[in-house]
Structures are given as structure tokens and as C-alpha cells.
Amino acid sequence: MDRKRQATTPVSSSAACQGAERIPVTIVGIGNEFRGDDAVGLAVLRGLAKRVPAGARTVELTGDQTYLLELMRSTDAIIMVDAVQSSAPAGTIFRVEVSEEPVPKDFISFTTHTIDSATAVELARALGSLPGSVLIYGIVGKEFSFTPNMSPEVEEAVEIVRERILSDMDTVLSGVIQGRKRDTSDM
């Protein structure tokens, strides 16, 4: 991995949240590239940026996840990709749609220092700023110590998730278009 390049590649798009028009679809890769399998969300996203259709933006999120609240306020649909801890085998992929149902309780973790992505979703729901579509991809990891390398099983899941997200895009985008038409006809 080219550490210098990784350290200086822009990883977030703040301009997208500063008064610009709503983005139809936002895909967020969440992770820490220094902590083994925790990098999987970023790895998925880095291979997706040039493959997503018009109307979708990709955002890497490596730190404070309250930023997700900003992203959710400025998009019609959001897809999050994150590493998860589970008793399932490493590389297992979970796909959860949470726009209508609460994030499963086991998704919500607890920390003294910031909020996690599942909490950000529920916070947005409580504040009435949840997008119409919220999809979470969780990839089970097994190695979260400080290392720049992911486990082979998790590496294998990366391209599968990318393909799944790309195949989701038609449905998600058409849902956004339908939603916008409804909003317009209601006015």
C-alpha cells in the first residue's frame, strides 16, 4: 500500500454538504486503514468511485461518524459499508435495509468518545432527517489490531460487495426518482 498516497488522498466531500442540492445517492465507506479488517469499508469504496452511475457520490469516512448525520441530511438514499464483529465467519456479508425498521440492536455499539454509524442512523431517525433509503453492508472481520493488511477472507468479500452495491444502484436510484416525483406531485 502506498502510505503517502493514502495519507493525502481527499477522503471526504464537505462541499457536498454545504448548501449544495440534494444528492440522489451517497455511498459511504467507513473504516480505518491502519486496523486490519476495519479497512474493508474504505477498500470497497476506493474501487467503486469510478464505477458508480451519475447521481451517486462516494465518501470515505475515517473518523468522526457524526458526519454521517450531515451526509444523511443532504441525500435521498445512503448506502454504508462498514466492518462488523460477529460470531459469523470472517468475510460474511450482511445487508440490512433500515429506513423503515430500526437498526438491529446488535448493530448498536457503545463508545465513550464518539458515536457509531448505527447510532448516527437512529439519531437521524429521531430528528426526522433519515433519507428515504438507508442500506448498510456489514462485512465480518476477524483481525482488528494495528496492521495495514486485511485478512484474505475479508479481501475476497471486497469485490463481492462492490458488485452488490452496483446491482443495488438501479433499484435505489429508481426509488429516489419515484420519491421525488411523489414529492413534486404533492406540492
* Binding positions for another protein, rule: CB under 8 A: 3-4, 7-8, 10-12, 14, 18, 30-35, 37-38, 61-67, 69-70, 82-89, 91-96, 104, 106-119, 122-123, 126-127, 138, 140-141, 144, 146, 160, 164
- Report the nearest approach of another protein to the CB of residue 13 (Å): 8
Q: Residue 55 or 69: which CB sits closer to another protein?
A: 69
Minimal distance, residue 39 CB to another protein, in Å: 10
How far apart are CB 26 and another protein at their closest, in Å? 15
Q: How many CB atoms lie within 10 A of CB 149?
A: 12
Residues in the chain: 187
Phi-psi category of 157—alpha, beta or left, where left has phi over 0 and alpha has psi -120 to 50?
Answer: alpha
Between 54 and 58, CB nearer to another protein: 58
DSSP structural state of residue 61: E
Residue (19 or 185) nearer to another protein, CB: 19
Supply φ then ψ for residue 182, to 5 degrees.
Answer: -60, -45
Distance in Å, CB of 187 to another protein, minimum: 25
Nearer to another protein, 89 or 152 (CB): 89
Write out the DSSP string of 108-154: ----SSS--HHHHHHHHHHTT---SEEEEEEEE-S--SSBS---HHH
User: To the nearest whole angstrom, how small is the minimum distance from the Cβ of residue 4 to another protein?
Assistant: 7
Closest to 93 measured CA to CA, from 81, 104, 103, 101: 81
Residue 85 or residue 180: which is nearer to another protein going by CB?
Answer: 85
Residue 62 is classified by DSSP as -
